[in-house]
Structure 1
Amino acid sequence: MVSDQASRRNSVKQLRCRECGRLRDFEPAYVCGHCFGPLEVAYDLAAVGQRVSRESIAKGPNTIWRYRELLPAPTGEPIDLGTGFTPLVKAPNLGKVLGLDHLYLKNDTLNPTGSFKDRNVAVATNFARSYGFDTLSCSSTGNLAGSVAAYAARAGLRALVFIPAGLEPGKVGAASAYGATVVEVNGTYDDVNRLCVELADLYGWAIVNVN
């Protein structure tokens, strides 16, 4: 894939391994090439501090994209289903049990597909499209499948969802409704995830994993 370097936010520096700390270029990758640890985004916090303020965030849309300066997403109009800006609900009874006077719960069931995973998938979809991927893939037992399928449909991408065989139909019904290809795999979730990763590497798919 040829990356669209000009489309990246200049607040993103590199990718950092959470296990060994090694840095690598910001590019499509999901594990460290040295120790196979998970990767996270390394930001230029000085650059972020010069551009971002409470006021600038408050002027943004009522979605996850009001925080786009803090996300590894390309510039331009994002692929958006209205994810984010879900309400905080005060939980006084639970707060009493935990000894907390001001406890609030984030109600992410009000995201487009009813799951917090819409947040991760929103960013991943925009990232994948900016790098020229035409397919989103994932291994899932339910919520991630629906989110990937919904965002792929909005972006005009193909969606491939791998699930353990015998999963209740209700858990993947949304993925099918959004037009994803659902592949049942005999084995555990780890087996499903391993197969998805291997095929994504082989065929050049973008893979979305929220674990």
Structure 2
Amino acid sequence: MTHATAPGPSTPYDPPSGPIPVIHEDAHLLVVDKPHGLLSVPGRGADLADCLIARLAEDWPEVLLCHRLDRDTSGIMVFALTKAAQRKMGRLFETKRVKKRYIARVWGEVPGVEGVVDLPLIVDWPNRPLQHVNHEIGKPSVTEWKRIAIEDGTTRMALFPRTGRSHQLRVHMKALGHPILGDPFYAEGPARDFPRMMLHAEGLKFEHPIEGRMMRLEAPCPF
């Protein structure tokens, strides 16, 4: 899973306001569309207390975390409304039985129509929370990608993470030579000069942890 990252001193935390779109709700699960710029969970300090789960708890006091998205990533997130659903949903993520689809716009024109990035990742300790490729001690990290379209010198991509390392998609796209547009950590120069990071969690497919039915849920890409 992709983990939430508190903003650094160069990126003041100014979360968006407005209602959180609900994609699905039942007795066990709450699925929403997280806006970019909003932390999934609180960061350190009172100035980072505003976050998605805190806002949801105002209407669903029983809400429980199942996974996270980076602050600057938008898109679909699953929360549990019961302990049993949280436990079983967590197990689905751990055993890679949740299929994830992201949409990204990346810098440059990506050659080829599909491929796989298989590069081990680990935290770059002197520069936390950044991650980097490390073939000696990095953890296995695999991302499948498909090119959707070339758009004004950039490329729209569908990304399918097969592992869930922190910043995985962001580092893998940079390693491919095509950083995600607007990425405050891994893009440089004109690739960074965008109003938001162009990464969106568009779809999830999984078996309902309690009811057993197959769930196919989507959050429309906003860019």
What TM-score comes out, normalization by structure 1 length? 0.26
The structure having more radius of gyration, on CA atoms, is 1
- Where relative contact order (Cα < 8 A, 6+ residues apart) is larger, the structure is 2
What TM-score comes out, normalization by structure 2 length? 0.25
